[in-house]
Amino acid sequence: MNWRLNSNSQIALLFLAGIFFGTVLPASAATWTVRAQPTRLVNGGPVLFQVKSPVGLESLNGTWLGHEVSFSFDTASKTWFVLAGVTLETAPGNYDLKLTGGTKAGKSPSTRISFTRKLTVARAKYPKIKVNLSVEGKFTEPSPEQQKEIQEAQAVKKDYLNRVTPEREWSGPFTPPADAAISDVFGSQRIFNDKTSSPHLGLDFRVPNGTPVEAMNDGTVLLARPLYFEGNFVVLDHGQGLLTLYLHLSEFKVKEGDQVKRGQIVGLSGGTGRATGPHLHVAVRWQGTYLDPALLMRLRLP
Ligand SMILES: [Zn+2]
């Protein structure tokens, strides 16, 4: 048997080697796994990213839709996770989640590894039901004195509602703030005195005056004060840029700076501020943008 290969065989071998290494070399990248929950991302929706890295990491950060996200490590499942969102204004399409991790320093010094995963955002179908509501004239045509109050309230909101505390305080699921029926969903359009207002950026619970309102997750009380449109207003900071907002309360049960646990009573429901009657309006902020609270409560969170 002749062991010498002719030139054609040598070319064939090189070709096979090319295929072999061609598939093997990027395999280290293929060992990243990225999971998104829910699997169908929509504008206005929250998303839980869960990542397994090919090697042990000290830290994992990412960029998503122009936002910086900082992952936490779940030792039980050896998975990195972060709660993020898709703004209501995001157009349907494919967007990159860019990951950068710092490897654990051991025999070799820590290095940075990165990975990019493309994710598809679909368009959410928010109800276009137009409701005619009548509210007091002071909310649609405010006087100069009221306009000053509105401006002051806007300054407070601009300052507080865009805050991002890097430390995560939330853990486990976000739970309903009241055991009551939903009277208006996120994203619906409303009309006040024949003027179309911006989409409804929260979730309304049909509750009478004085119903206990519970914290949706662990956090710190960022705001507990009356504002012009919001009425008696409580904002909880859950860390990682996630805030929950509770509006139109009749009474406060917490003060700014308090630490609260999920289920703790933060106030009693009411109809203060711009409200047609007693109800609880709850909103979710993520890094300066509103997300659908109903979708957040549906996520199974670590
Ligand atoms: Zn509402």
Show contacts of 69-72: CB within 8 Å, 24+ apart.
69/240, 70/166, 70/240, 72/168
Q: How far is the CA of 115 from the centre of ligand 1 (A)?
A: 40
With 0-12 CB in 10 A as exposed, 13-18 as middle and 19+ as buried, what is 75? exposed
> Given pLDDT bands bounded at 50, 70 and 90, which one contains residue 166?
confident
Q: How far is the CA of 265 from the centre of ligand 1 (A)?
A: 20
d(CA 87, CA 290): 7
| pTM, entire model | 0.85
Q: What percent of the chain has a predicted confidence (pLDDT) above 70?
A: 84
The per-residue pLDDT for 136 is: 63
d(CA 116, CA 138): 50
> Given pLDDT bands bounded at 50, 70 and 90, which one contains residue 141?
confident
Is it the case that residue 15 has pLDDT exceeding 90? Answer: no
Q: How far is the CA of 221 from the centre of ligand 1 (A)?
A: 21
Q: How far is the CA of 271 from the centre of ligand 1 (A)?
A: 11
Q: How far is the CA of 26 from the centre of ligand 1 (A)?
A: 50
Q: How far is the CA of 104 from the centre of ligand 1 (A)?
A: 47
Q: How far is the CA of 122 from the centre of ligand 1 (A)?
A: 25
CA dihedral 26, 102, 74, 289 (to 10 degrees): -100
| 233-275: pLDDT as tens digits | 999 999 999 999 999 999 999 999 999 999 999 999 999 998 8
The per-residue pLDDT for 135 is: 61
**Listed residue (248, 226, 245, 227) closest to 236, CA to CA:** 245
> Is 30 or 231 the better-scoring residue by pLDDT?
231
> Is 189 or 282 the better-scoring residue by pLDDT?
282
The per-residue pLDDT for 23 is: 40
Is it the case that residue 25 has pLDDT exceeding 50? Answer: no
Q: How far is the CA of 201 from the centre of ligand 1 (A)?
A: 7
Q: How far is the CA of 36 from the centre of ligand 1 (A)?
A: 28
Q: How far is the CA of 139 from the centre of ligand 1 (A)?
A: 15
The per-residue pLDDT for 268 is: 98
> Given pLDDT bands bounded at 50, 70 and 90, which one contains residue 150?
very high
Give yes or no for a cis peptide into 38 (omega within 30° of 0).
Answer: yes
Average pLDDT over all residues of the chain: 88
Read off the pLDDT of each residue in 276-294 and give the average, rounded to a whole number: 96
Q: How far is the CA of 50 from the centre of ligand 1 (A)?
A: 31
Read off the pLDDT of each residue in 207-227 and give the average, rounded to a whole number: 98
The per-residue pLDDT for 12 is: 46
> Given pLDDT bands bounded at 50, 70 and 90, which one contains residue 131?
low
d(CA 302, CA 300): 7
Residues 6+ apart with CB under 8 A from 105: 58
> Given pLDDT bands bounded at 50, 70 and 90, which one contains residue 127?
confident
Q: How far is the CA of 189 from the centre of ligand 1 (A)?
A: 11
> Given pLDDT bands bounded at 50, 70 and 90, which one contains residue 128?
confident
Q: How far is the CA of 282 from the centre of ligand 1 (A)?
A: 7
Give ion ligand 1 contacts, CB < 5 A: 202, 204, 281
The per-residue pLDDT for 276 is: 85
The per-residue pLDDT for 11 is: 43
Read off the pLDDT of each residue in 183-198 and give the average, rounded to a whole number: 79
Q: How far is the CA of 164 from the centre of ligand 1 (A)?
A: 24
| 49-107: pLDDT as tens digits | 999 999 999 999 999 999 999 999 999 999 999 999 999 999 999 999 999 999 988 87
Q: Where does 123-250 show beta strands of DSSP type E?
A: 132-133, 182-184, 191-192, 195-196, 203-205, 212-214, 219-227, 231-237, 242-249
The Cα-based distances of 161 to 45, 230, 286 in angstroms read 18, 13, 9
Is it the case that residue 295 has pLDDT exceeding 70? Answer: yes
The per-residue pLDDT for 106 is: 82
Q: How far is the CA of 204 from the centre of ligand 1 (A)?
A: 5
